[in-house]
Amino acid sequence: MALLAGESPARALAAEIVSCLRARGHVAYFAGGCVRDELLGLEPSDYDVATDATPDRVRELFPRSSEVGKCFGVVIVQGRGEVVEVATFRSDGAYSDSRRPDTVTFSTPQEDARRRDFTVNALFLDPFGDTASNPADLPRAPVSGCVIDLVGGVADLRAGVLRAVGDAAQRLAEDHLRALRAVRLASKLGFEIERQTAMAITRDAAALRGVSRERIGEELQRMMTHESRTVCAARLAALGLLVPVLGHERAAPARWDHLASLPPKAPYPASLAAWGLDLGLADGEAAWPAEWRRSLCLSNQDRDGLVMILRAVGQVRQAWDGLSVAGRKRLSAGQWFEWARVLVGVRDPARAARVGGDRDLLARTPSGLAPVPLLGGDDLVAAGWKPGPRFKEVLDRVYDAQLEEKVRTRAEALELAAGLGVKG
């Protein structure tokens, strides 16, 4: 099947899957977030297909596939360099662990829609259906296919409302991670959270019972690396989710100035630093990055980035004026320096601007901010020096001299090292 004009490879693969299932007598539709995004005029990040075909039947029809959740009826089908998740229509039993259904029964589109989290995620789309059957007031028209709305999702899309399917308390109790998903999705789409859904989050889901720290951390990373991070932070606070997310209590600020100062593509550690500063956590307070490392399951890289940004914030705020040229160059050449300067600028724009100007002047010196060191440990050994605990100290001092233009050649660097008494 050839790509239609403007059609992505992922959509084309999903359409091929639907076509193949239909040709073998099965019901099959696009399902979930891809339908929501198409109706909003957004480019879906992936495509899902829902069908009455069992997982075994899907595997039979699509040899290039693998089961990722047979008990939940989910098969991953590959093609066109893409993957599409194909799930059998199902209804869920009780969620005794507040995470997964105890039992799953393969069922109908109607029951499958009713077990989903939010109405805007419970829409189906027949990509080959008659568009004339669509409501005249779809959020976006024309849509390529026939929309199948069994839970009022189209009206909520049109109104910009995120609403739980059916009883909000029941939907949230089934999986408390849905509380965080509601915050993230509503903020990303610019939607309001429907009142009953918001009340269920605050009343029942705030404990995040049954949700692992890993899953919480994954949701928070998705929030804080999206341009809607400021809205997410405000909603987490308003819905009483700060304590269960962070593991400690903090009063919400009146404004989220540090988060709002970041550009859309700010990295995760910078967003975390901004969030912490907005919550009133001191940049020199050693405990809270370690607490967030545990509560959000931060990677070592993200934790280290957070710590380095906070350290740089403190140095820019308090120590910059007293630093040597070498100290300023070392600081301003660091990976996270510019993010620290941006955050300092929230409260002290004059200082941030002055430090930025100083950094630019230093960058124009002959050696620049971070030249390749003239001397390394191997050079000292080759020149007859004996390795020892003072090697690093001496190499650092030689590099500082290089940064300050006091030594400009390898010979001058070796001469300085000799004067520091390294030779054995």
Starting at the earlier edge strand, list the strands of the sheet with 65-69.
65-69, 74-79, 82-88, 48-51, 28-31, 124-126, 146-148
Residues 254, 307, single domain; the answer is no
d(CA 134, CA 162): 21
Residues 187, 222, single domain; the answer is yes
Determine the pLDDT at residue 139: 77
The burial class, CB within 10 Å (0-12 / 13-18 / 19+), for 75 is buried
Determine the pLDDT at residue 133: 79
Which of 245, 264, 298 is the endpoint of a domain? 298
Residues 78, 178, single domain; the answer is no
Residues 63, 130, single domain; the answer is yes
Q: Is residue 273 part of a domain?
A: yes
d(CA 100, CA 104): 10
Q: Is residue 292 part of a domain?
A: yes
Residues 335, 289, single domain; the answer is no
* DSSP secondary structure, 197-208, as one string: HHHHIIIIITT-
Determine the pLDDT at residue 72: 76
Task: Classify 104 as helix, strand or coil.
Answer: strand
Determine the pLDDT at residue 80: 82
Determine the pLDDT at residue 391: 83
Residue 38's domain is classified under what CATH number?
3.30.460.10
Consecutive H or E run containing 232: helix 229-238
Residues 317, 211, single domain; the answer is no
Determine the pLDDT at residue 138: 79
108 in Cβ contact with 145 (< 8 Å) = no
CB contact set of 424 (below 8 Å; sequence gap of 6+)? 385, 386, 388
Determine the pLDDT at residue 380: 84
Residues 65, 175, single domain; the answer is no
d(CA 254, CA 397): 46
Residues 147, 13, single domain; the answer is yes
Residues 265, 222, single domain; the answer is yes
Domain of 344?
303-363
Residues 102, 65, single domain; the answer is yes
Q: Is residue 424 part of a domain?
A: no
Question: How many domains is the chain built from?
Answer: 4
Determine the pLDDT at residue 3: 45
19 in Cβ contact with 11 (< 8 Å) = no
With helix as H, strand as E and coil as C, how does 249-282 read? CCCCCCCCHHHHCCCCCCCHHHHHHHHHHHCCCC
In the chain (424 residues long), the average pLDDT of successive 10-residue segments reads 65 96 97 95 93 94 84 87 93 61 79 95 94 77 86 95 96 92 97 97 82 94 98 96 87 93 97 95 74 94 95 95 97 96 97 97 96 91 81 92 96 90 57
Q: Is residue 159 part of a domain?
A: no
